[in-house]
């Protein structure tokens, strides 16, 4: 069997390696337009920052062997043609026309073809876009250019255009290298994979680390002679010795489209669960292929290296007659933002609403380990659930605490269709060095189920802020103790410590709406119950507590 794979970065090499394990006699050829093979593109920001010391580490096996054409030939008996571009596909005759580095044209026959053409950075045509020191970060070559500019001390002021995953990771890398960094985002928030109240907390953290974040700002062009020295926006000009364009990527589908393969609604190649395209002998995997959202069952586009590897394996299995399928994704993602992590999975609140769910959410900040452990760090969680079924639809986490562990549990729960009650009873591992006795995710699930059942009436930050701004006649009740007030407070709040609340109920007006809050919402929930039991009928708890309050405090 002749197997041709177009693309040699993530999904392509994974498919090739799996096919070889299943079929010792297959004739496997990988065509790669660039030089570098099977490299960890997600590691590029850490190569720029110096965390990853050598370029070779990004394209080597765990034991340090470089994945170059010789490695694939000698170890896996896979022929790799790098510096070679696939120009066209003849589906009738089952051939691929290629153009090699010396300009020569050739054709390769196939029985099965795997398209792993990846994605292409979206770079808008702007005045001055040709100037030097304007980079994208998509491949090893881009990273080398950025590193060279940084090492020559030519980049003190850096502008990152785009506030997505790569842009945020690059901000940290550049600050570590001593740069003054400005991030410019066209939309109202950075990290649009997060809900707004989570994104604003992340923005505040980045600004505390020295990154200037400009949202609702459009880049109009660039100024300079040979090298860029200014970025023009619709607000003002920004000095810049270097610009990183990180607006996003688009699936690379021209080869597929020219061959008459079906393109999906997301502009990526349409595939089935076996990763077959509209031609049963041609597969598409990785960033060029359309995905299916596991919650809604609708098409989506989520380009990630982890997904690419799984899809490559599924395609290889099907080619070799092994029953397998790739059912879809949850859009799970995580990134490091200085000493914070930002993670998400499933549907955002707005996505869930748009999909027709009756949505309830909760915010739950707490230490990721018992408070008495010196290694405890803050973890801020948001859960999104369907009121009708009480099934978890989505989860998000930010903070220095261990978000990966909680989000991975949430991924499993959403995939399995678990309810909040089932999640709250999971027999998770517990010891003080690793988690509280009631894990953060379990606590959040209990809070959310209480809200759905009506035992907990919540109110969002935005609703509280609107009441304050409008001068509404309500009581914002802070139930923390005096020592906690010294650290942070909301000026408009009335303070009655929880331990004194039962004896000071006469100070509160039963006819007024009362919104309770504390540091992490634990005391404020207790306070709400005390008030309700004393005959107060309009009591709400501010979701997320003071730790997640995104406004001035």
Phi, psi of 99, deg, nearest 5: -120, 120
Q: Indicate if 82 and 152 belong to the same structural domain.
A: no
Please identify, among 247, 277, 306, the residue that sits at the C-terminal boundary of a domain: 247
User: Using CA of residue 397, residue 40, residue 257, residue 161, what is the dihedral sign?
Assistant: positive
Q: Indicate if 476 and 542 belong to the same structural domain.
A: yes
Report the C-alpha gap between 225 and 545 in whole angstroms.
Answer: 51
Instruction: Give the residues across from 419 on adjacent strands.
Output: 391
Answer whether residue 540 is part of any domain.
yes
Residue range(s) defining the domain that contains residue 505: 458-548
pLDDT digits (tens, 9 = 90+) for 494-540: 999 999 999 999 999 999 999 999 999 889 999 999 999 999 999 99
Q: Indicate if 396 and 441 belong to the same structural domain.
A: yes
User: Using CA of residue 456, residue 434, residue 345, residue 466, what is the dihedral sign?
Assistant: positive
Report the C-alpha gap between 188 and 367 in whole angstroms.
Answer: 29
Q: Indicate if 147 and 288 belong to the same structural domain.
A: no
Grade residue 38 by pLDDT with cuts at 50, 70 and 90.
confident
pLDDT digits (tens, 9 = 90+) for 486-507: 888 888 999 999 999 999 999 9
Q: Which residue has the tokens 């979206």?
A: 122
CATH code of 227's domain: 3.50.50.60
Instruction: Give the residues across from 397 on adjacent strands.
Output: 343, 381
pLDDT of residue 310: 97
User: Using CA of residue 403, residue 408, residue 409, residue 411, what is the dihedral sign?
Assistant: positive
Percent with pLDDT over 70 in the chain: 100
Please identify, among 184, 212, 247, the residue that sits at the C-terminal boundary of a domain: 247
Report the C-alpha gap between 20 and 23 in whole angstroms.
Answer: 5
Answer whether residue 333 is part of any domain.
no
Angle formed by the axes of helices 196-208 and 165-176, to 10°? 10
pLDDT of residue 7: 95
pLDDT digits (tens, 9 = 90+) for 355-391: 999 999 999 999 999 999 999 999 999 999 999 999 9
Answer whether residue 354 is part of any domain.
yes
The alpha carbon of residue 394 and the mean position of all alpha carbons in its chain are separated, in whole angstroms, by: 13
Answer whether residue 330 is part of any domain.
no
Residues taking part in catalysis: 42
pTM over 0.85: yes
pLDDT digits (tens, 9 = 90+) for 401-437: 999 999 999 999 999 999 999 999 999 999 999 999 9
Please identify, among 197, 228, 247, the residue that sits at the C-terminal boundary of a domain: 247
Answer whether residue 127 is part of any domain.
no
pLDDT digits (tens, 9 = 90+) for 139-197: 888 888 898 888 877 789 999 999 999 999 999 999 998 999 999 999 999 999 999 99
Number of domains present in the structure of the chain:
4
Question: Residues 330, 333, 338, CA angle at the centre, nearest 5°?
Answer: 165
Q: Indicate if 190 and 299 belong to the same structural domain.
A: no
Q: Indicate if 165 and 233 belong to the same structural domain.
A: yes
CATH code of 362's domain: 3.30.390.30
């Amino acid at each position: 069997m002749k197997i041709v794979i177009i693309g040699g970065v993530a999904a392509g090499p994974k498919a090739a390696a799996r096919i070889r394990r299943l079929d010792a006699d297959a004739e496997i050829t990988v065509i790669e337009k660039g030089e570098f093979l099977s490299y960890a593109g997600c590691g590029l920001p850490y190569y720029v920052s110096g965390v990853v010391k050598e370029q070779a580490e990004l394209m080597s096996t765990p034991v340090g062997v470089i994945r170059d054409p010789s490695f694939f030939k000698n170890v896996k008996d896979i022929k790799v043609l790098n510096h070679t571009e696939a120009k066209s596909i003849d589906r009738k005759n089952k051939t691929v026309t290629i153009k090699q580095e010396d300009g020569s044209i050739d054709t390769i026959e196939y029985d099965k073809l795997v398209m792993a053409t990846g994605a292409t950075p979206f770079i808008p045509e702007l005045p001055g876009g040709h100037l030097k020191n304007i980079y994208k970060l998509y491949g090893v070559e881009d990273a080398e250019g950025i590193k060279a500019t940084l090492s020559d001390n030519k980049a003190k002021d850096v502008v990152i255009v785009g506030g997505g995953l790569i842009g945020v990771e690059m901000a940290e890398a550049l600050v570590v290298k001593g740069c003054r960094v400005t991030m410019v985002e066209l939309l109202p928030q950075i990290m649009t994979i997060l809900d707004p109240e989570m994104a604003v907390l992340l923005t505040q953290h980045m600004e505390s680390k020295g990154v200037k974040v400009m949202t609702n700002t459009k880049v109009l062009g660039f100024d300079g002679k040979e090298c860029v020295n200014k970025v023009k926006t619709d607000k003002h000009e920004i000095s810049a010795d270097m610009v990183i364009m990180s607006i996003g990527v688009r699936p690379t589908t021209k080869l597929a489209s020219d061959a008459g393969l079906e393109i999906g609604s997301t502009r990526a190649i349409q595939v089935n669960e076996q990763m077959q395209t509209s031609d049963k002998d041609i597969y598409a995997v990785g960033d060029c292929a359309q995905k299916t959202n596991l919650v809604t069952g609708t098409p989506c586009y989520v380009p990630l290296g982890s997904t690419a590897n799984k899809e490559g394996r599924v395609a290889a299995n099907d080619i070799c007659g092994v029953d397998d399928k790739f059912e879809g994704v949850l859009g799970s993602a995580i990134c490091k933002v200085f000493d914070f992590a930002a993670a998400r999975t499933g549907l955002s609140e707005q996505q869930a609403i748009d999909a027709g769910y009756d949505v309830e959410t909760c915010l739950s900040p707490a230490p990721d380990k018992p408070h008495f452990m010196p290694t405890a760090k803050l973890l801020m969680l948001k859960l999104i659930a369907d009121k009708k079924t009480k099934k978890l639809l989505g989860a998000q986490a930010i903070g220095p605490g261990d978000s990966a562990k909680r989000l991975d549990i949430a991924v499993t729960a959403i995939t399995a269709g678990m309810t909040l009650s089932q999640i709250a009873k999971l027999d998770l591992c517990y010891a003080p060095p690793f988690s509280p006795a009631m894990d953060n995710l379990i606590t959040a699930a209990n809070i959310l189920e209480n809200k759905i059942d009506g035992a907990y009436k919540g109110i969002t930050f935005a609703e509280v802020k609107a009441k304050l701004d409008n001068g509404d006649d309500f009581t914002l009740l802070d139930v923390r103790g005096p020592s906690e007030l010294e650290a942070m407070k909301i000026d408009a709040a009335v303070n009655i410590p929880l331990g004194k609340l039962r004896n000071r109920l006469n100070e509160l007006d039963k006819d007024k709406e009362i919104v309770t809050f504390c540091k992490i919402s634990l005391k404020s929930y207790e306070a709400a119950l005390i008030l309700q039991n004393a005959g107060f009928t309009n009591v709400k708890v501010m979701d997320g507590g003071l730790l997640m309050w995104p406004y001035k405090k």
